[in-house]
A and B are shown apart, each in its own frame.
Chain A
Amino acid sequence: MSGRLKVFWQMVRRLSGDDAYEQYLKYYARHHHVDVGHDCHPPLSKADFFRQWQDEKWNGIKRCC
Chain B
Amino acid sequence: MNQLLKNAIWLLIALLGASAVGGIALNRGENINALWFIAAALCIYAIGYRFYATWIAATVLSVDETRATPAERLDNGRDFVPTNKWIVFGHHFAAIAGPGPLVGPTLAAQFGYLPGTLWILFGAVLGGCVQDMVTLFLSTRRNAKSLGQMARDELGPLGGTAALIATLAIMIILIAVLGLVVVNAMKHSPWATFTVSATIPIAMFVGVYMRYFRPGQVLEASALGVVLLLLSVAGGRFIDEHETLRLLFDHEGLTLAWWIMAYGFAAAILPVWLLLAPRDYLSTYMKLGTITLLAVAIILLQPVVKMPAITQFIDGTGPIFGGKLFPFVFITIACGAISGFHALIASGTTPKLLSNERDICMIGYGGMLLESFVAIMAMIAATVLDPGVFFAINSSVGVVGADTADAVAKISSWGYPVTVTQMQNLAHQMGEATLFARTGGAPSLAVGMASIFGSAFGEGLLALWYHFAIMFEAIFILTTLDAGTRVGRFMLQDMLGNMWPKMGETSWLPSVVFTSALVVSGWGYFLYIGVIDPNGGVNILWPLFGIANQMLAAIALCVATGILIKSGKLKQAWVTGLPLVWLIIITTTAAWQKIASDDIRIGFFSAANDLTDKLAAGVLPPAKAAIAPQLIFNLHLDAWLTLFFVSLLWLIVFDMLRVCARYLSGKSVLPLTEVAHSPSRLVEDWVRD
A contacts, CB < 8 Å to B: 10-18, 20-21, 23-24, 27-28, 31, 46-47, 49-51, 53-58, 60-65
Q: Inside 8 A of B349's CB, which chain A residues have their CB? A: 60-62
Nearest CB in chain B to that of A48: its residue: B215
Nearest CB in chain A to that of B273: its residue: A54
Cβ-defined contact, B211 with A64, below 8 A: no
Q: Inside 8 A of B280's CB, which chain A residues have their CB? A: 62-63
Pick 6 A–B contacts, CB within 8 A, sort by A.
A16-B218, A50-B210, A54-B211, A58-B276, A63-B98, A64-B480
Q: Inside 8 A of A60's CB, which chain B residues have their CB? A: 348-349, 487, 490
Bound complex: CA A47 to CA B273 (Å): 13
Cβ-defined contact, B342 with A64, below 8 A: yes
Bound complex: CA A57 to CA B78 (Å): 9
- B96 interfacial by beta-carbon distance below 8 Å: yes
- B222 interfacial by beta-carbon distance below 8 Å: yes
Cβ-defined contact, B98 with A65, below 8 A: yes
Q: Inside 8 A of A14's CB, which chain B residues have their CB? A: 83-84, 87
Q: Inside 8 A of A23's CB, which chain B residues have their CB? A: 77, 81
Q: Are A50 and B211 also in contact (CB < 8 A) when A62-B349, A64-B342, A64-B344 are?
A: yes
Chain B 461-495, CB-CB to A under 8 Å as 1, else 0, gives 00000000000000000011001101100100000
Cβ-defined contact, B348 with A61, below 8 A: yes
| Main SS at interface, chain A | helix
Bound complex: CA A49 to CA B271 (Å): 16
Bound complex: CA A55 to CA B271 (Å): 8
Select which of B99, B277, B549 is within 8 A of A54 by beta carbon. Answer: B277
Select which of A31, A46, A58 is within 8 A of B77 by beta carbon. Answer: A31
Nearest CB in chain B to that of A14: its residue: B87
B contacts, CB < 8 Å to A: 77-79, 81, 83-84, 86-87, 90-91, 94-100, 167, 174, 178, 210-211, 215-219, 222, 271-273, 276-277, 280-281, 334-335, 339, 341-342, 344-345, 348-349, 479-480, 483-484, 486-487, 490, 549, 689
**Chain B nearest Cβ from A21, distance in angstroms:** 5
Cβ-defined contact, A58 with B277, below 8 A: yes
Cβ-defined contact, A63 with B479, below 8 A: yes
Q: Are A18 and B219 also in contact (CB < 8 A) when A50-B211, A64-B339 are?
A: yes
Cβ-defined contact, A61 with B487, below 8 A: yes
Cβ-defined contact, A51 with B211, below 8 A: yes
**Chain B nearest Cβ from A55, distance in angstroms:** 6
Q: Are A65 and B335 also in contact (CB < 8 A) when A46-B215, A58-B277 are?
A: yes
Which residue, B87, B218, B273, B479, has most C-beta atoms of chain A within 10 A? B218
Cβ-defined contact, B90 with A11, below 8 A: yes
Q: Are A15 and B90 also in contact (CB < 8 A) when A60-B348, A62-B95 are?
A: yes
With A12-B219, A18-B217 already in contact, 5 other A-B pairs whose C-beta atoms are closer than 8 Å: A15-B94, A24-B77, A51-B215, A56-B79, A65-B549
Which residue, B77, B99, B344, B483, has most C-beta atoms of chain A within 10 A? B77
Bound complex: CA A6 to CA B95 (Å): 25
Cβ-defined contact, B272 with A54, below 8 A: yes
Q: Inside 8 A of B211's CB, which chain A residues have their CB? A: 50-51, 54
**Chain B nearest Cβ from A14, distance in angstroms:** 5
